[in-house]
Amino acid sequence: MAEFSGGCRFEVFTLFPPLLNSFLRESILKKAIDRGLVAVNLHNIRDYASDRHRTCDATPYGGGGGMVLKPEPVYAAVEHVLGGAAGAAAEDVPVVLLSPQGRLLTQEVVEDLSSHRRLALICGRYEGFDERIRTGLVTDEISIGDYVLNGGEVAAMVVIEAVSRLIPGVLGFDDSNRNDSHSIGMSGRLEGPHYTRPAVFRGQSIPPVLTSGNHAEVDRWRHEQSLLRTAARRPDLLRKHPPDERDAVFLTGHGYDLHGLDIKTKGGSDG
């Protein structure tokens, strides 16, 4: 394994480090770690508990079901790894709480996270966190969707993989992620369809333009397919990233009522 040379170093705080081990030993992420482009350090919160039973949870004040993650071991773990007291420790390193109450993880958020050389990710368990973890230690709170998991480890894996893909060299080609769905290169829209060999499969042929050799026409086709797929599946993305006049005319010509979908063109006018 090469010495860590750049990219991003992830500090993951969890009660169950083995849950992430197999994830880190496979595929592109393993290669990135082996090449020193990414580093992932797993820290067992239980190692920072102060009692002989390594207790990390307790019943909630005021009653109620479930157990709550105690603040002491979480603070101790983060401060030990990052150095300094809470707040000061996080000054240069975002301390991210993975929680269904956080802001939604989008490609835009991923791109922002990828600008940091080091990220701390706190994975929860049980009923929830003592609120003082949020108010005194955490600098950001992120959710991967409007649903609840048993813990934050899966969410941590999502963040690690999404951020790592944006680190130069991880995918092998520095521009291979620019045309992913939701990316800057796609203006926040969805990718269009992809095809590979064979050219005909069970009576389904690939679009002739893809074998025409006309790169300008292929680019235009991909752009138009991206527009159509986004309008059909995620029109909300077109409200967030409005089409220009030419694209608006194209969508209208394919039966999309941009006014009815509350989609404006760049410049503010209705389509």
Question: Which residues are identified as catalytic?
Answer: 100, 127, 165, 180
Whether 113 and 163 have beta carbons less than 8 Å apart is answered as yes
Q: What is the pLDDT of residues 133-169, one digit of tens each?
A: 999 999 999 999 999 999 999 999 999 999 999 999 9
Mean pLDDT of the chain: 91
Q: What is the pLDDT of residues 74-133, one digit of tens each?
A: 999 999 999 976 654 455 899 999 999 999 999 999 999 999 999 999 999 888 999 999
Q: What is the pLDDT of residues 211-257, one digit of tens each?
A: 999 999 999 999 999 999 999 999 999 999 999 999 999 999 999 99
In sequence order, the 6+-apart residues with CB closer than 8 A to the CB of 111 are: 166, 184
The structural domains of the chain, ordered by start, are: 8-164 (3.40.1280.10), 184-253 (1.10.1270.20)
